[in-house]
Structure 1
Amino acid sequence: MKKRLLSCSLLLVLFSGLFTGCETAQQIMNNLPAATSGGLSSAQIVAGLKEALTIGTQNSTNRLSAVNGFFANAALKILMPPEAQKVESTLRSVGLGSVVDKAIQSMNRGAEEAAKSAAPIFVNAIKSMSITDAVGILKGGDFAATNYFKQKTTSALTTAFRPAIESALKKVDATKYWADVFTVYNKFSKTPVNTDLTGYVTDKAVAGIFQEVSLEEQKIRKDPAARVTDLLKTVFGNKQGTTVGQ
């Protein structure tokens, strides 16, 4: 039990971004506030970690599922796939840039709509996190939590996103715009382009979610404001900010 408690405490320390190393972690254990005569349980400590991860993933999905969550984010905005860049250039050169712009906006709107389904998938992965998973994250480096989510949620996210994106693309006429783009382009090309728009947007949307999750992971590690919750205050206590981190 003592080893499990120490492992869980080290894990929470990793994600708080305040402390590193076994000796410092032991200091943290010595300074944990006593919730009962037996002190904090491993379950309470792991709950603190899970709360931090839940908040981080919810922040990520909330940002991306908002209007312009993808479209106004220069790092994540979904553009035409590489194989269609010649198409885009040709259409813009003949005065059809507005058609391309509508197609691009619609792809991003589809991704934003699909992102609404991500939070429950992340929550399920967090709830199922075991002590073994926790130790693996502890040893995994700066983006260990993000990598854990990639392993545990990529399939579920893809499955959930694809129909949501397909529906969203149809709702905003993205498939129509896509068809318009390639119908026109194919009139000028001897090699017609046939791209799976839904699959392309789905892959980009999933990648965008993980990019945002990685940013939240770094906040949890480095920004004190990102880890201030009631449960984390209970786990760490006020004394650690002044005595343990020195």
Structure 2
Amino acid sequence: MLYKSLILLAPLMLCAANWQDAVNTAVSATSTTQKSTTTSGTTTSQSTATSGVKEALSLGTKQAVSLLGKEGGYLNNAAVKIPLPASMKPVATAAEKLGGKSYVDDFVKTMNNAATKSVPKTASILSDTISNMSVEDANAIVNGGNTAATDYFKTKAGTKLLSAIMPIIKESIKESQVMSSYQSLKGFAGGGNATSGLTNNAIVGQASSIAKGLGMGDSVPSGDEDIEDYIGRKTLDGLFYMIAEKEKALRSNPMASGSSIIQQVFGK
């Protein structure tokens, strides 16, 4: 009798065992799917954030370089206009009092024109810096302050940018006669007439001598290299300022970008 009962129950036991195996398999598959979905979701999120940041930075840097690289990009924008070096202001004041304001204006104009001519050279470096951005960098920018991206550029590309623009600054200085204006300004402030036929060395020497006599010896920069470095640094200051302004505008109103991915990343 027991034997017959076991025979009758065997199919039911086998069915139950198969059902349990099926349940275990389904649970395992569901768990695996959930893990896969979670991992996929995280990857997509990070990928989206990185793509959004890169697109935003590309847009902002292109706009900044375009604005500064057009005629009058520096000179006609009070926020980035390169002023006289602090050490030259006493000399400029003296020149203006003697009717030499045009020399001051020419010097400022030629400095700013040199900056405008050099800034397009920064585009490729900025682009490379964006391309090489890591996921961690992108996340830090998304969750950072209003100028986190601009600060990233300063840290990652500041030195490269300066090295890239300096040859153009130097060439622009020669082409736009920055040093001629600079020396004329010093000569005029020193009491010499820039059109009197004096050589550049004579003008500089006369300006330096009179400046020292007036107690303004330290107000005359020492040479060409100082001016080149000054223009280079101010060129980058203006570039970073414009990038920061574009970044802040984008963060405050990502809808204006017209990009769905930028809106998704920054439109929190």
Which TM-score tier does this pair reach, normalised by the shorter chain? 0.7 to 0.9
Deviation at 1:216, TM superposition (A): 0.7
SS of 1:189's partner is helix
Q: Which residue identity lines up with residue 129 of structure 2 in the other structure?
A: A
Deviation at 1:136, TM superposition (A): 2.6
Aligned counterparts of 1:219 and 1:141: Cα–Cα separation in 2: 13
Contact 1:122/1:149 (8 A) holds in 2: yes
Aligned counterparts of 2:63 and 2:163: Cα–Cα separation in 1: 22
Q: Which residue identity lines up with residue 78 of structure 2 in the other structure?
A: A
Aligned counterparts of 2:144 and 2:84: Cα–Cα separation in 1: 34
Deviation at 1:44, TM superposition (A): 4.7
Deviation at 1:119, TM superposition (A): 1.4
TM-score by length of 1: 0.75
Aligned counterparts of 2:88 and 2:63: Cα–Cα separation in 1: 33
Q: Which residue identity lines up with residue 229 of structure 1 in the other structure?
A: S
Aligned counterparts of 1:135 and 1:172: Cα–Cα separation in 2: 43
Post-superposition CA distance 1:110-132 (Å, at most 9, x none): 01011111111111111000012
1:220 alignment counterpart: 250
Contact 1:125/1:149 (8 A) holds in 2: yes
Aligned counterparts of 1:229 and 1:88: Cα–Cα separation in 2: 48
Structure 1: stretches of 5+ with no match in the other structure: 9-39
Residues 52 and 166 of structure 1, relative CA distance in 2, 3 Å threshold: same
Deviation at 1:228, TM superposition (A): 1.4
1:33 alignment counterpart: none
Cα RMSD between the aligned structures? 2.4
Task: Choose the corresponding residue for 2:106, options 93, 102, 106.
Answer: 102
Q: Which residue identity lines up with residue 61 of structure 2 in the other structure?
A: T
Are 2:77 and 1:73 equivalent residues in the alignment? yes
Residues 74 and 232 of structure 1, relative CA distance in 2, 3 Å threshold: closer
Contact 1:4/1:42 (8 A) holds in 2: no
The alignment-based identity, stated in percent, is 28
Contact 1:78/1:204 (8 A) holds in 2: yes
Deviation at 1:165, TM superposition (A): 1.1
1:150 alignment counterpart: 154
Q: Which residue identity lines up with residue 150 of structure 1 in the other structure?
A: K
Post-superposition CA distance 1:192-234 (Å, at most 9, x none): 622511100111110110000100111111124432126547x
Structure 2: stretches of 5+ with no match in the other structure: 1-35, 191-206
- Superposition pairs of residues 57-206 of structure 1, within 5 angstroms: 57-184=61-188, 185=190, 186=207, 188-190=210-212, 191=217, 193=220, 194-195=222-223, 196-206=226-236
Q: Which residue identity lines up with residue 95 of structure 2 in the other structure?
A: L
Contact 1:60/1:213 (8 A) holds in 2: yes
Deviation at 1:42, TM superposition (A): 4.1
Aligned counterparts of 1:142 and 1:211: Cα–Cα separation in 2: 12
Aligned counterparts of 1:208 and 1:158: Cα–Cα separation in 2: 12
Aligned counterparts of 2:159 and 2:231: Cα–Cα separation in 1: 15
SS of 2:82's partner is coil
Whose helix fraction is larger, Structure 1's or Structure 2's?
A: 2
SS of 2:152's partner is helix
Q: Which of these two proteins has the greater Rg computed from alpha carbons?
A: 2
Aligned counterparts of 2:153 and 2:228: Cα–Cα separation in 1: 23
Residues 154 and 84 of structure 1, relative CA distance in 2, 3 Å threshold: same
Aligned residues: 205
